[in-house]
Structure 1
Amino acid sequence: MRVLHVNKFLYRRGGAEGYLLDLAELQRAAGDRVEYFGMDHPDNASPLAYARFFPSQVELEPVARGLRPRVATAARMIWSPQSRRGLARVIDDFRPDIVHLHNIYHQLSPSVLAAARAVGVPCVLTLHDYKLACPSYQLLDRGALCQVCVAAGPLAAARRRCKDGSLAASALLAVESWLHRTLRAYDPVQVFVSPSRFLADVMRRAGVYPERLHVVNHFVDVAGLPVKDAPGGGVLYAGRLATEKGVDVLIEAVAALPDGVPVHIAGDGPARPALEELARRRAPGRIRFHGRLGKTELHGLVRACAVVAVPSRWHENQPMAVLEAFGCGVPVVGTDLGGLPELIDAGVDGEIVPAEDPPALAAALGRLLADPARSRAMGRAGRAKVERDFTPAAHLSRLRDAYALAAATVAR
């Protein structure tokens, strides 16, 4: 099978990109031919066979200054002829059996779907966030949990100014989503893949192609992945450093942990400078920021720790950080939002705590740090879970079913 993966970024920027790249490796190992289409970016993996056809790089944060750049950026978010032309040329040369899309919003736009529909190539889209139900992606209104647009529609985002309190930014996102919904820009997608039941339920309530939704869990490949074999260790957060991830809550919790507990933060993102400053003030000398790590180095750091923290203040979908921690035999403390309670069995392979609650997070982390035998047993339970329920073979089989359904739908 010839699979073309489409995502705006083609480097390990976050969980969506990590999943995409790992899936591509899995498919190649199974005998598929795999290629990529995305936005031109200096951090993209290389070499990429079709990089010459990628649309130019555009940065949305910070917002470009000046009226003309802002208008151009807004137009590209809604419909990008450059992206459509580029994907059309890749399809013409590569001739994929399936176009598997991931995060295409803003930098690519759903114009890429028109390129696939024009030549009758079936499309599957994996949902990594809530964009099709919530114009600002995250079911957040200026940092607070919100699902108003799920029922009221995307234009509510403009009225509420939910994007950073800005009427202009909120209105742009609202109009973008409203136009895409009104023009049925996502009609060329035959199958929408949701990694979590929570996300699928949100999409159904928002009326996002409910008859095309299929829940397919992510996977973790534990073949050759060692399990933590030494007791003890500290706390690790691994992921994007952005406000919704709640890393500031973890830093506040660290102040309540015993002295000498090492705390590691792996990843990068726009919130890093503020988080480093907060760490200097609230937990001086106790937190190490590692930046973005390669997968092998990250797994080694996971195994060196006693527990992984996922302190999110937004409704996580199905974060790879949890599955990879379990794969390394390390328990997870996560919040009670989104798909996290679907992954973590409290008291078995981790703990669930309320979001935005540093004392509760500190208490849960402290219990595992104080009882290495319990922590190790939970980690082993997590490893058993992913070996049973999140295997590459099962994921690939379910995904091939989704591909076959998309192809059959196009052929009708």
Structure 2
Amino acid sequence: MRILMISSLYPPFVRGGAEICAHNLATWLAGEGHEVSVLTTTPDPAQETWGAIEDGCRIYRVSPPRAYSPFDAGDAPGWKKPLWHLQDLFDPRNVALMDRVLDDVRPDFVNIQYIQGLGYNAMTAIGRRGIPAVFTLHDLGLTCVRMSMFVDGKECNGLCTPCRASAGVKMRYLRSMEHLGFISPSTANLQKLQSFQPVGEYPCHRVLNPNEYPSPTVGREEADTVRLLYVGRLHSSKGVQVLLEALDGLDPALDFTLDILGSGPDEAEWRARYGDKPWARFAGHVSLQDVADRMENSDLLLVPSIWNENSPGVIIQALIQGLPVMGSDKGGIPELVQHGENGLLVEAGSVSAWRTAIAGLLADPAQLAPLRANALAATGRFAKTTLSHEALSVFEKILAGAPEAIRAQPLAGVHA
């Protein structure tokens, strides 16, 4: 099967988990015998490629004309953002580029992983040709221009006027594709999206991202001190301020440390406020390998998010290594963390609830041993091969409803 994957962010240019997921699935599919091409972007026009082979896939790496690149979105001035989004919705060059790629690849199937930055209107080129497609929902980008429905430290209750207008245009482009389905890594993300967009009219499937993580290069060493760990962006949506305030109010006699791995817009403020605490250790941005090594010698991962997290990869990475997780009872987190089995769930945004939950564990650290054992016993459900097969099965189901001319083609590498 000839598969075109669309992911405006893709290694080696990485900003988050969606592009890693796209790379993992693309290379797995190629390894299974499928002809895989990837349409992506580059922040450097000098690094554009047109069908170059990388990791067994043909890579179309382009630099679309934009007010700024997807890699500069976090630092772009506010006045440029409306122009950028208008280009992403209406610029005819988006469609022309997609037509060129479709002419070159002639795909049997399209998987849209991340299309923002390549142009939502480019989906009309796919629809015009009747090519079946699956849209992977890594975020709430179909409803929200910020992709998170989280503004000024709180979640949005509904769509603002710009988001409502943008969502309507995006849905019109989606409807141009007759043979369409959706994959979401969490039911929570899918339900959130369905409350604002009629995606429920299409086949929808929950499939975890088929990611894999580096194995630790160090052995585990036990310690008397309870070693807490936070890994992620230092931003208000992640609830780090809730966690820090909760820990700061604990009994000083409790023996614990908190390693904070990551960076973000709130890092300087939180370093200034908590950096001199004897329990707080800010490490800044670290590599995935360093995360794995730190997890191996930690006792509990803390995920205090206050927004509707989709399916945090950091939780999956922790559970694979047998690291129990204390997470917010919000979004897709409860779909990964089973309270009392492989971790604990705590009320999102409640400083008192987090302080009480952490204090209870610090007072009786023996509770962590069975949580760790249960996490280790269930790591198989996160296997990359298993999840990749699940994603491919969804592709096949959508393809089965495509025109006979496409269904009749041999599907190389497809497993029964």
What range is the shorter-chain TM-score in?
0.7 to 0.9
Output the amino acid matched with 2:256. Answer: V
Alignment of 1:264-279 (within 5 A): 264-279=259-274
The Cα of 1:55 is off from its aligned counterpart by 1.7
1:94 maps to which of 84, 100, 105: 105
- The C-alpha deviation readout for 1:271-328, integer Å capped at 9, x for no partner, is 33333334337x36722223042x3222111112111111101011111111110001
Task: Please state whether the residue corresponding to 1:333 is helix, strand or coil.
Answer: strand
- The C-alpha deviation readout for 1:235-264, integer Å capped at 9, x for no partner, is 222223332111222222332455763322
- The C-alpha deviation readout for 1:339-370, integer Å capped at 9, x for no partner, is 11121111111111111123322343344455
Distance 2:305 2:260 in 1: 14
Alignment of 1:168-183 (within 5 A): 171=162, 173-181=163-171, 183=172
- The C-alpha deviation readout for 1:49-82, integer Å capped at 9, x for no partner, is 345534254344445366xx55632421323434
Asked if residue 411 in structure 1 is aligned to residue 406 in structure 2, the reply is no
Q: Residue 414 of structure 2 corresponds to which residue in structure 1?
A: none
Q: 1:253 to 1:384 in 2, by over 3 A?
A: same
Q: Which runs of 5+ in 1 are unaligned?
A: 150-156, 159-170
Output the amino acid matched with 1:8. Answer: S
Task: Please state whether the residue corresponding to 2:134 is helix, strand or coil.
Answer: strand
Alignment of 1:121-132 (within 5 A): 121-132=131-142
- The C-alpha deviation readout for 1:146-176, integer Å capped at 9, x for no partner, is 4434xxxxxxx13xxxxxxxxxxxx3x3322
The structure that has the greater radius of gyration is: 2
Distance 2:385 2:196 in 1: 32
Asked if residue 381 in structure 1 is aligned to residue 374 in structure 2, the reply is yes
Q: 1:240 to 1:323 in 2, by over 3 A?
A: same
Contact kept? 1:344, 1:352, Cα under 8 Å: yes
Contact kept? 1:228, 1:328, Cα under 8 Å: no
Distance 1:186 1:278 in 2: 49
Contact kept? 1:330, 1:376, Cα under 8 Å: no
Asked if residue 339 in structure 1 is aligned to residue 332 in structure 2, the reply is yes
Distance 1:190 1:254 in 2: 47
Output the amino acid matched with 1:262. Answer: T
Task: Please state whether the residue corresponding to 1:337 is helix, strand or coil.
Answer: coil
Identity of counterpart residues, as a percentage?
25
Distance 2:332 2:88 in 1: 28
Task: Please state whether the residue corresponding to 2:260 is helix, strand or coil.
Answer: strand
Distance 2:210 2:42 in 1: 28
Output the amino acid matched with 2:199. Answer: Y
Q: Residue 231 of structure 1 corresponds to which residue in structure 2?
A: 222
Q: 1:174 to 1:209 in 2, by over 3 A?
A: closer
2:147 maps to which of 137, 142, 158: 137
Q: Residue 187 of structure 2 corresponds to which residue in structure 1?
A: 197
1:23 maps to which of 1, 25, 33: 25
Q: Which runs of 5+ in 2 are unaligned?
A: 53-58, 405-416
Q: 1:30 to 1:379 in 2, by over 3 A?
A: farther
2:391 maps to which of 352, 376, 399: 399
- The C-alpha deviation readout for 1:204-228, integer Å capped at 9, x for no partner, is 3334221321122334548967897
Q: Residue 245 of structure 2 corresponds to which residue in structure 1?
A: 252
Over the aligned positions, Cα root-mean-square deviation in angstroms equals 3.3
2:115 maps to which of 104, 107, 111: 104
Task: Please state whether the residue corresponding to 2:102 is helix, strand or coil.
Answer: helix
Contact kept? 2:40, 2:61, Cα under 8 Å: no
Output the amino acid matched with 1:365. Answer: I
Asked if residue 240 in structure 1 is aligned to residue 242 in structure 2, the reply is no
Q: Residue 83 of structure 1 corresponds to which residue in structure 2?
A: 94
Query: After the TM superposition, which of the residue ranges 189-198 and 334-343 deviates more from structure 2?
Result: 189-198
The normalised TM-score by structure 1 is 0.81
Q: 1:31 to 1:225 in 2, by over 3 A?
A: farther
Distance 2:249 2:98 in 1: 51
Contact kept? 1:307, 1:365, Cα under 8 Å: no
Task: Please state whether the residue corresponding to 2:182 is helix, strand or coil.
Answer: strand
* Greater share of strand: 2
The Cα of 1:141 is off from its aligned counterpart by 5.2
Contact kept? 1:53, 1:90, Cα under 8 Å: no
Distance 1:148 1:376 in 2: 42
Distance 2:403 2:273 in 1: 56
Contact kept? 1:279, 1:287, Cα under 8 Å: no
Distance 2:213 2:62 in 1: 35
- The C-alpha deviation readout for 1:175-228, integer Å capped at 9, x for no partner, is 2223333x3445426111111122222333334221321122334548967897
Distance 1:363 1:46 in 2: 53
The Cα of 1:34 is off from its aligned counterpart by 3.5
